[in-house]
Amino acid sequence: MAVVTLATGEKAQQECMLLLFTLEQYTRPLPIVYIFTDSVTAVGLKAKAHYKGDLRIRETMNAYTGLDRKKMEKMPGVKYPNMFSDYTCEKIGAMRTAFKETAGGVWFLDADICLFGPLPHVPISAEVALSPHLIREGDEARFGRFNAGFMWFGKESLFDVWETASYSSRFFEQAALEDVAAVAGAAAYEFPIQNNFGWWRMWQSEEGSSFIQGQFGYNRNAGHIGLTYAGKPLGSVHTHWAEKEDYYISNFNKFILDKLSKLGKHGPYLEFMHALRQVVPKVRV
């Protein structure tokens, strides 16, 4: 099994370290992890990122050194309309590389994914597995049906579909995943809501944030952190833990951390918080 991520810049480096920790905490056997990065970020990753499995750092992202999303969206792209589109579509080539080298299905996880349990099961019949946003219809029309930070590809030709659709996508590489799902048809699997749970599901849902928050609960059985959603283990969250300025992200973080704090001396929670404080020292619970 292979997991691919992109990480450029210090913040992404820190988030990637937490991703590695949670992969190591819950995933057996340990997957091969590919980090596609730039040479500057690679220095920090090689010095600070600890992973007991096979870690493959590829310095292919030097074109994006020192650039954040705001800057890239204002810059013309090489292949796509702007530099940020070029950046996000690096996922396609990165996953292709891992697919060829490992001869099997490949996961892509954004660097700001934290696993709270094992990676979810993908049916043997699936050619691709995608994470639906599960947000309001109007927001989905803008941002796409699927989130491009959590996915699995098991058929190499679908990378070509994704790349071609990205040239005319209404929202970077993300909305183009709808074309991938359409081509895969019945072989496209959608991950349950407990996976890749991001702030958008809380603040952009049809049901409203109060309903969403009311679905969280606890189960301290072995194998996951102990938090549940709709009665099932919460498998992963997708968030920038160090974010302070964005209202929606910072308040999502506060909610999740408050819920987690009720776990008290539960081992998996304590291990996670120790790792989180190494990345975000000033995190408050």
DSSP 103-114: TS-EEEE-TTEE
- Structural domain includes residue 111: no
- Structural domain includes residue 155: no
- Structural domain includes residue 73: no
Number of domains, the chain: 1
Per-residue pLDDT for 82 more than 90? yes
In the structure, what pLDDT confidence band is assigned to residue 209 with cuts at 50, 70 and 90? very high
Residue 247 has, within 13 A of its CA and on its CB side, a CA count of 1
- Structural domain includes residue 93: no
- Structural domain includes residue 170: no
- Structural domain includes residue 201: yes
In the structure, what pLDDT confidence band is assigned to residue 49 with cuts at 50, 70 and 90? confident
- Structural domain includes residue 227: yes
Structural domain of 199: 193-285
Distance of CA 85 to the CA centre of its chain: 17
Count CB atoms within 10 A of the CB of residue 15: 24
Region 15-32 average pLDDT:
95
- Structural domain includes residue 264: yes
- Mean pLDDT (the chain, rounded): 96
How far apart CA 123 and CA 126 sit, in angstroms, is: 5
Pairing outcome for strands 2-7 and 106-109: parallel
Q: What is the pLDDT of residues 224-282, one digit of tens each?
A: 999 999 999 999 999 999 999 999 999 999 999 999 999 999 999 999 999 999 888 77
Q: Tell me, what's the pLDDT at 278?
A: 87
